[in-house]
Amino acid sequence: MQGLAILVVDDEPLARRRAVRLAQQLPWVGDVSQAGNVAQAVEWLATSACHIILLDIRMPGGSGFDLLRHLPDPAPAVVFVTAFNDQALRAFDARAVDYVTKPIETGRFQTAMERARAVVDQSNSADRIRELEEVVANLRAMGDGARPHMAELWVRSGGEYIRIKPENIGHVSAERDYVRLHADGQSYLYNENLATLERLLPPHQFLRIHRSTMVRIDAVERVKSGQFHSLVAVLNDGTELRVGRTYTAAIRARLARRD
């Protein structure tokens, strides 16, 4: 059986390439095509079959919503991928399958794609409607206009996806091109680098203490002296993490402000 055909519509080449790369990693995805604007997407759809569209909202020459008027019948499943979350309710009204904010977080992207795949297989699922309502409620809670921070992370473990809330993470450690999340006594490999995750997690909750380590501030029990005038952060589970010299001043100042 051939994989599902995907069309990525985004005017930003880097964002488009990332969406393409993430889609191609899914085993059930077939051909992945690209369009840089609405006109190109309309032209492509006129001659090619498509199951799922990954659609940016704000683009020169026409928004993602403009493309919806030109979708074939039956229409492909639509996942909006955008840096702006102020259009969430409108996206839901347009019967989008899901809504993913930039920068794209791998686990969240995979969840949205699985929902889109389910829609292709079963377009009138009541479960899908309930899931969409939950997505919109979460986006509304984030507030309009500002770039949101991740309210949850999804990691793959043992053939399933596990939801991890930021408040359950004790610390994060770099592991080559990935990171390892340490949460609730378990550790999970996560498909992002530390710099990207630092942008996604709430900055008032997390602090970089080393070029390869980030901690949740409330998980720090105390900071003690280490060898050669260094500092060591001791977490409430007993974990001891070395503080990099270039981060010493920042951690002293940040922990001093902690309520």
Q: What is the pLDDT of residues 39-81, one digit of tens each?
A: 999 999 999 999 999 999 888 888 888 888 788 877 888 898 8
- Three-class DSSP category at 106: helix
Task: Kindly tell me if the per-residue pLDDT of 128 is higher than 80.
Answer: no
CA pair distance 82, 55, nearest whole angstrom:
8
pLDDT given at position 91: 56
- Three-class DSSP category at 98: strand
Q: Which residue has the tokens 């340490």?
A: 182
Give the β-pairing of 77-82 and 52-55: parallel
Is 4-142's fold the same as 168-256's? no
- Name the residue ranges covered by the structural domains of the chain: 4-142, 168-256
92 vs 111, higher pLDDT: 111
Both tokens of 183, joined, read: 């949460």
Topology classification of domain 168-256? OB fold (Dihydrolipoamide Acetyltransferase, E2P) (2.40.50)
CA pair distance 76, 116, nearest whole angstrom:
9
12 vs 256, higher pLDDT: 12
The pTM for the full model equals: 0.52
5 vs 86, higher pLDDT: 5
20 vs 63, higher pLDDT: 20
Residue 190 CB contacts under 8 Å (≥ 6 apart), including other chains: 106, 107, 153, 155, 178, 179, 180, 181, 197
Query: What is the CATH code for 4-142?
Result: 3.40.50.2300
